Structure 1
Amino acid sequence: MIRSLLLAFVAVFVLTSTASAENENNYQFDSEQQRATYQQLTKELRCPKCQNQNIADSNAPLAEDMRDRSYQMLKEGKSREEIIQFMVARYGDFVHYQPPFTTATSILWWGPLLIVVIGIGVAIGLTRKKKAAVELTPQERERLQQLRKSGDE
């Protein structure tokens, strides 16, 4: 029983790991540079349907279409940047794992820094408030000294 489950697991693993290699083998490249560019693109572009999976690893029909379109554009002589621009124009900034710095995405870049600065400001403000609250008036200091003297006796 365990042996057959293990064998089934290994078979599924082997079949799925060769699926992406088979996808690439369907394409004929003019040079190794073109093949390398294609591989880089398929790992750099995100499948809009699968959310956080690149198009090289995704089995979704949309990812397959994106792989086909990337291949066609490479064969037409388009550069890596032109293909990325096309995909971003068609599917939005989300499709690229390294979104550009724009007004719309600036909150993603500056938001964490802004939160840290605000946190530091709040911590400093609270610390100063506590420090001010601990300051004793001259009458309170005199009373404290009297209590200490009576405690020592």
Structure 2
Amino acid sequence: MPLLTVLTPRSIRHDRGILKLLRALCAVAALLIFSGTLGTASAARLDGIDLPEQYETRYKALIDQLRCLVCQNETLADSNAELAADLRREVREMMVKGKSDQEITEFLVARYGDFVLYNPPVKSTTLMLWYGPFALLALGVLIAIITVRRRGRTEPTTLNATQHQQVQDLLRRQDEEKNS
């Protein structure tokens, strides 16, 4: 039997074996997807340095505010990159040495720039980052308004006698082709 006839919707409904196989494949795919995401979240926090319990909540809050320099759209807490693990380890070591959150943040900003902050401060060097999307949106709306207004102002095109006759001939030919 050809493969296409075996996998039609009607044959899938009648063939319980294929339906069970598809369910099993979906379950395995879901298991692989969710086990991968759960593994990354817990693996990101295991850096090999034991942090005293008194620092743990402060540590988690701080690494949630710092950006992974490799992944760029993930916090240090969520990233599995080696650089992120190194930065997490460095943050832990600085905490154990008694550094404040502000001192740790200032050290990382001095070393890597404002980009290391997941929410960088609004200042002259980051203005485009904060307000650029709104400026582009406003520009797009302005262009759309201008385009719509120009289209509304254009005068309808009038045909001269020759053009009018050509259109009539084309329409007549089209009607004749439909009727024949």
TM, length-normalised to structure 1 = 0.63
Give the CA deviation at 1:43: 1.3
Partner of 1:77: 98
Partner of residue 28, structure 1 = 51
Q: 2: CA distance between counterparts of 1:85 and 1:76?
A: 16
Shift of 1:112: 4.4
Mapping of residues 66-105 of structure 1, within 5 Å: 66-105=87-126
Q: Percent identity at matched positions?
A: 35
CA distance in 2 between partners of 1:26 and 1:56 (Å): 15
- Matched with 1:48 is 69
Deviation of 1:118 (Å): 5.8
- Cross-structure match for 2:85: 64
Q: Name structure 2 gaps, 5 residues minimum.
A: 1-20, 155-180
Instruction: Give the aligned CA root-mean-square deviation in angstroms.
Output: 3.6
Q: Is the 8 A contact 2:67 2:73 kept in 1?
A: yes
Alpha carbons of structure 1 residues 101 and 62: separation in structure 2 relative to 1, 3 Å: same
Deviations 1:46-87 (A, max 9, x none): 111111111112121111110011001111111112111111
Output the CA distance in 2 between the equivalents of 1:53 and 1:6. 27
Q: 1:98 to 1:11 in 2, by over 3 A?
A: closer
In structure 1, stretches of 5+ residues that fail to align are: 134-153
Q: CA deviation at 1:11?
A: 5.2
C-alpha distance in 1 between matches for 2:60 and 2:135: 37
Q: Which residue of 1 aligns with 2:157?
A: none
In 2, distance between residues paired with 1:28 and 1:22? Answer: 10
Q: 1:28 deviation in Å?
A: 2.4
Q: Give the counterpart letter for 2:28 in structure 1.
A: L
1:111/1:56 Cα in 2 relative to 1: closer, same or farther (>3 Å)? closer
Change (3 A) 1:13 1:53: closer
- TM-score (normalizing by structure 2): 0.55
- What is the one-letter code of the residue matched to 1:6? V
Runs of at least 4 residues off by over 2 Å:
10-18, 20-23, 107-124
Q: Cα gap change, 1:116/1:64 in structure 2, threshold over 3 Å: closer, same or farther? A: closer
- 8 A contact 2:40–2:80 mirrored in 1: no
Task: Measure, in 1, the Cα distance between the counterparts of 2:114 and 2:81.
Answer: 19
User: CA 1:91/1:72 → structure 2, altered by over 3 Å: closer, same or farther?
Assistant: same
Q: Aligned pair count? A: 129
Deviations 1:79-122 (A, max 9, x none): 11211111111111111111112211122334345456667777
Relative to 1, partners in 2 of residues 1:19 and 1:66: Cα closer, same or farther, differing over 3 Å? same
